[in-house]
Chain A
Amino acid sequence: MHSPRLPLILGLVLLVGGLSVASLVIGPAPIPPLRALAALVSDQGSTSVVVRDIRLPRTLLAILIGWIFGLTGAGLQGLLRNPLADTAVFGAPQAAAFGAVLVLYSGLVGALSWALPFAAILGALASIALVVAVAGRRATVVVLVLSGLAIGSLAGAGTSLAITLSPNPFAVTEIVFWLLGSFEDRSIVHVLLAAPFIVMASALVLASSTGLRALALGEETARSLGVNVMRLRVLLVAGAAVGTGAAVAVAGSIGFVGLVAPHLVRPFAGYDPARTLVPSGLGGAALLLAADCAVRLIPSQTEIKIGVLTAILGVPFFLWVIARRKAELSEMPV
């Protein structure tokens, strides 16, 4: 009576594995797959430097960040019972970026400090909590999108203000490029900076899975089934904020992975929000790995920023979902 989930997860793990190898192989200096894998585990001179120090960190970051975006996107869609929910729609990446920019701008710390993820997490937390509070129980598409737009705009304005007032033109360039979102020139230190937060965020989101199931029938029914809806909300908002904050802190703002990934896995995983979580995370990791390979393959003078690519691909998808569910825009989905 239920679609088997194991083959799907196995297939996605294989896909992520394959794309990871591709990510180690693709770049200005092409390295054959077997040589790349050999360079990973044994010393192969300059090849090892390229694979271990340049390509491995960005591969790991793409996996970690894609995973947490996919996972939190599926979790938030389940929480708000709305297929358009995502941290990017809530303005969370912009808010996280604003938090991080404030820290950078103040000149208190460098770009590799532990203060950066904390500031980004606080920014993301503020935005997601605000949207969930405003949109709250009756999260219609319109209310969600409008409140996310407002918060994203506010955070964007704050960031612009910080850039405008910045006394140092080099800092400005750095901030702007960092904001665009990229895995370029990331080291293993970035991975270590983000990983603990992403593990924590994953635990928070995965702890909500049973509650999400019941929530498919609305809050009242979920509560009557013994679910603590308040706790569920706190888990997911905290998980999404920690995950987004950590991701933005190390890779800048990358959007729409969390929106797209759940939609891509639903035809295989079914619609039960609990069962979409892990496949969405893996789907997100695969998406971001593929996007990161793509930006390296697209011919251009400097590398296209991955945040730009995900937005260029994600926004049309977002519009497509809206168009497909247009009827619901005029009524309550809850």
Chain B
Amino acid sequence: MSALQAHNLAVDLGQRHALSRVDLTLSSGRLTVIVGPNGAGKTTLMRTLAGLLEPTAGQVTLDGHPVSRMQAGERSRCIAYLPQGGAIAWPLPVSEVIALGRLPHGEKPDNLPPRGQEAVAQAIHAVGLEEFESRPATELSGGERARVLLARALATQAPVLLADEPVAALDPRHQLVVLDVLRAQARAGRTVAVIMHDLTLAARFADEIVLLNHGLVAASGAPEAVLTEEKLAANFGIQAHVSHEDGHLVVVADRPLPAPGYESVRPGTE
């Protein structure tokens, strides 16, 4: 049981209030998807939840313990974080990149104990990269590289896994592969939170959706409750059609609504 909670969280970035009054609970065994327009504060929220950003007010707790008071080593064993668009600087073999996920346990990639080797093998298996193990990670396609980085986060075997846009820039097949892995992690009892922009995909995989806008939690709950046409209009500024097909919720963004500050948006004229 690992619950990561934000209590009345506020984060200021310079002059800007990036987050205010955020209360939320990420429970173990559940996949929470964080959605919201660009600049809503999604990444700021995730970095704060991961303990990488100090909140201006409020606090983040893991099973009741404030994350900001945890030692860096302990925190890194409890919370695995996959940043947005992660780069790999050197042409390291895939297995070595994934083995970096064992650093929080004090295990060095070139001298892994059996426990670490098993964790790395499991992570490689979970994302289906067995045949790529010794290939230089920089030579892989975007989809394969995203799986390598995900496997790196999995190899830590932390009870909490936070992933910032892990499926951005991936083809539909790789999006499904990665989200399947994340959902399997949640089913295995981990606490998983993911930021993403594809609302249909979010509805399909999320146990719970948190809709963030202007640094505030605009709505949270089951996908059907959050992804309504009214809420999408109010928070994303789009006119959208929400329907159900074969038991799946489908969101089709139709057109942008006139945004405050703009004259009007009239697609199709002229």
* A271 CA to B135 CA, complexed, in Å: 13
7 tightest A-B CB contacts, nearest first: A226-B76, A81-B89, A271-B90, A224-B81, A220-B83, A226-B72, A2-B110
CB distance B81 to A220 under 8 Å?
Answer: yes
CB distance A5 to B110 under 8 Å?
Answer: yes
| Interface footprint category on B | 35 or more
Minimum C-beta distance from A267 to chain B (A): 11
Tell me whether A54 is interfacial, beta carbon within 8 Å.
no
CB distance B90 to A218 under 8 Å?
Answer: no
Minimum C-beta distance from A43 to chain B (A): 47
Q: State the majority secondary structure of interface residues on A.
A: loop
A residues in contact with B39, CB < 8 Å:
none
Q: Interface-forming stretch among A118-126, A209-217, A253-261?
A: A209-217
Minimum C-beta distance from B87 to chain A (A): 5
Q: A214-B100, A271-B92, A275-B110 are in contact. Are A224 and B80 (CB under 8 A)?
A: yes
Residue of B nearest to A332 (CB): B87
The residue from A217, A227, A270 contacting B89, defined by CB atoms under 8 A apart: A217
| Interface footprint category on A | 20 to 34
Task: Report A's interface with B, CB cutoff 8 A.
Answer: 1-2, 5, 81, 210, 213-218, 220-221, 223-228, 270-273, 275, 332-334
* A221 CA to B103 CA, complexed, in Å: 11
Task: Report B's interface with A, CB cutoff 8 A.
Answer: 47, 50, 52, 72-73, 75-77, 79-83, 86-93, 95-97, 100-101, 103-104, 108-110, 133-134, 136, 149, 152, 156
* A221 CA to B50 CA, complexed, in Å: 11
Q: A1-B133, A226-B103, A272-B110 are in contact. Are A216 and B81 (CB under 8 A)?
A: no
The residue from A216, A225, A334 contacting B76, defined by CB atoms under 8 A apart: A225
Residue of B nearest to A224 (CB): B81
* A220 CA to B77 CA, complexed, in Å: 15
CB distance A218 to B87 under 8 Å?
Answer: yes
Minimum C-beta distance from B69 to chain A (A): 15
